[in-house]
Each structure stands twice: as structure tokens, then as C-alpha cells.
Amino acid sequence: MTSRPWVAWGVCRLNFFVVEPGASHKVTLPLPHMTDAVENSQPLLRLSKITKVYTRGDLAVPALRGIDLFIEQGEFVAVMGPSGSGKSTLMNLIGCLDRPTSGAYFLEGQDVAQLSRDELAGVRLRTLGFVFQGFNLLSRTTALENVELPLLYAGMKSVERAERAKEALRRVGLDARAGHTPNQLSGGQQQRVAIARALVTRPKLLLADEPTGNLDSRTSIEVMALLQELNAEGLTVLLVTHEPDIASYAGRLLLVKDGRLRTDEKRAAMSAKQALSEWRDEETLQ
């Protein structure tokens, strides 16, 4: 891991003439959770008998019917399942955007089901990072400002904020696009800005609900390569997808059906980086 250049493939591609790959740029994000993982044996998160019932008028719609789940620090987990099976509901609960109807949810040992609205916001700010299918960047707002946004709410001073945001943009290979607004960026670039925004607070857990859902297959693999790289640096990633080949880049697969966990298996993950180089080889052959 240490011998591999920190620069993501995207950086090589986009800034080939600007940044030499491997040049010491002192930009590696210090990821404190790498050491935490060693010292701390408790799982990053633990769900116990989690249920979620939506009520629509008099109608009760059970979306989750008892989920038990451990996720360790440093895992790369893919969640699959048919539409309406409760994947997004599960992600929203884990993401502290919503509270379960019953059950316990411990994040870093803390029972977050008991937290207030603002305390949950604090957990989202410090511990979690979100990547959405629809990117969810602020329109008419530059990439840099989008990435700075969480730091603003963390109360960071503007100089440090800009520094950190640039660093995160560089990490996803988009420092040259810092001044661009979302409508001046491609889908893949927008998703990388969104990833930079999720990374900038140095979270423990990255939650991605169908992050490649709006991207073509090539760009999807690029995004997966970036996520794999971040994961290799210690970031825990939980990702929802309905595409098996996207899920194949994860080291653990969860299958959700009718609000229940049907399958939970660990396996060898494919390398997105390798998939990309093969793709490139094919292109050159043609």
C-alpha cells in the first residue's frame, strides 16, 4: 500500500502535464482511522433488530423487518436487492438521516438512536460522508465551495477551509476544476466533487446510495477505483447498487429482500483499477 502512488488514476489522466504522478505534494489526507482500526477492536457500527415502519395515513408500510449487522472499520460493503426492498431506508438509518422504529444502532460504540436532531447532524458532520445517485451538489456554486460546505458547518476558518477543500479536490483529481460550477462538469466529475465533499471532513464511514446509477459504465468504474483507493487508505465504504459488476468491487456483499438481510458474504474484491487498464488496452487494440 505504501509503495503505490497516492495519486488516483483520475489525477494522472486529467493533470498529466500539471502534476507528476508520485511527486511529493504533501497532500495525503491523514486518515486517523487507520490507526484506530488497530487499537480499537469494537466494530465501526452495529445494528441490532432494527425495524422501520413508515405510516401512510392509516397504512403501515414495514420497510425494514429486523436487521442485525456488524461492519468493521476498513470494510468495503455492497448492498444489493430488488427495488423497494429497503436498501435506501437502511442507508438513511445508518446515515443518521432517520431514526429506526425499533432496535439499537451503535456507531463507534454510541447509541445514535437516542440522539437529538442536532446531535445526529453533528454525527453526520464528523463521522459520516454521503454520496448520492443524483450527486446533490449545490447548483451555481463552484466545486470548491461545494467541497467547503461541510467545513463551514464545522465552523472552520476560511483560510483553513479553502486549504482543506483544495486538498480534497486534489485527492479526487479535480483541483484544476475548483472554480467550475456543477453544470460545467461531467457526471463523473460531479460525482468526484461529491466524493471530495464527503471526504473533506475526514469521516469514518462513506455512505453511497447508487453512486454510479447516473453514470456510464466506464465512468462508473473510475468512481469505483477512487472508492477502492480511499478504502485501501482505511475509509470504510458502504454502497448500494443494483449492478452486480459494481458490487463485485466490494469485499462484502449484503443482499436485502423484503426488509430482511438474506445474504451476508465476504469474498475477494475485483480491482477497479485493473478493470480500467484492461478497458484501456481494449481501446488501444480497436
Partner 1 sequence: MMVMMALRLALRSLLRNRMRSALTALGVIIGVAALLVTVVLGEGTRKMVAAQIASMGSAILMIVPGASAQGGFMGGTGSGRPLQRDDVEAILQARSVRYAVPVDRTVAQVVSSNLNWQTPIIGTTTDYLALRDWPVARGRFFNAAENDTAAKVCVLGRTVAQNIFGESDPVGQQLRVKQMPCEVIGLLAAKGQSAMGSDQDDVLIMPSLTLRTRVLNQNRQYVSTIMVSATSEDDLAAAESEVVSILRQRHKLTDDQENDFTVRNLAELVQTQQKIVETQTGMLRNVAAVSLLVGGIGIMNIMLVSVTERTREIGIRLAIGAREKDILLQFLVEAVVLSVMGGLLGIGLGMLAATLFAKLGGGMPVDFSAFWMVLGFGVSVAIGVLFGFYPARKAARLDPIDALRYE
Ligand X SMILES: Nc1ncnc2c1ncn2[C@@H]1O[C@H](COP(=O)(O)OP(=O)(O)O)[C@@H](O)[C@H]1O
Q: What whole-number distance in Å separates Cα of residue 96 and Cα of residue 52?
A: 13
Name the 3-class secondary structure at 127. Answer: coil
Mode of pairing for the β-strands spanning 205-209 and 236-240:
parallel
Residue 189 interacts with Mg ion (CB under 5 A)?
no
Minimum distance from CB of 146 to partner 1 (Å)? 9
CA distances from 208 to 162, 227, 239 (A): 25, 10, 5
40 binds, among partner 1, ligand X, Mg ion, none (CB under 5 to 8 A by kind): none
Among 10, 74, 81, 234, binds ligand X (CB under 6 A): 81
122 binds, among ligand X, Mg ion, partner 1, none (CB under 5 to 8 A by kind): partner 1
Asked whether the CA dihedral 88, 96, 165, 71 is positive or negative, the reply is negative
Minimum distance from CB of 128 to ligand X (Å)? 18
CA distances from 187 to 36, 38, 135 (A): 34, 37, 8
Q: Which of 158, 141, 92 is nearest to 120 (CA)?
A: 92
Among 21, 32, 84, 134, binds ligand X (CB under 6 A): 84
Asked whether the CA dihedral 212, 36, 128, 60 is positive or negative, the reply is positive
Residue 88 interacts with Mg ion (CB under 5 A)?
yes
Residue 86 interacts with ligand X (CB under 6 A)?
yes
- Other CB atoms within 10 A of residue 13 CB: 12
- The angle at the Cα of 230, spanning 224 to 235, to the nearest 5 degrees, equals 120
Q: Between 49 and 68, how does the x/- string for binding to ligand X read (CB under 6 A)?
A: -----x-x----x-x-----
Residues at the site binding partner 1, with contacts judged by CB under 8 A: 92, 95, 97-98, 117-118, 121-122, 124-126, 130, 132, 136-138, 140, 149-150, 152-155, 157, 197, 201
Residue 85 interacts with ligand X (CB under 6 A)?
yes
Minimum distance from CB of 152 to partner 1 (Å)? 6
Minimum distance from CB of 88 to Mg ion (Å)? 3
Minimum distance from CB of 256 to ligand X (Å)? 7
In the bound state with partner 1, the residue whose beta carbon lies nearer, of 98 and 258, is 98
Task: Give the amino acid at 96.
Answer: C
Q: Which of 203, 223, 230 is nearest to 275 (CA)?
A: 223
Residue 134 interacts with ligand X (CB under 6 A)?
no
Q: Summarize as ranges the residues that interact with ligand X (CB under 6 A).
A: 54, 56, 61, 63, 81, 83-89
Residues that bind Mg ion (CB under 5 A): 88
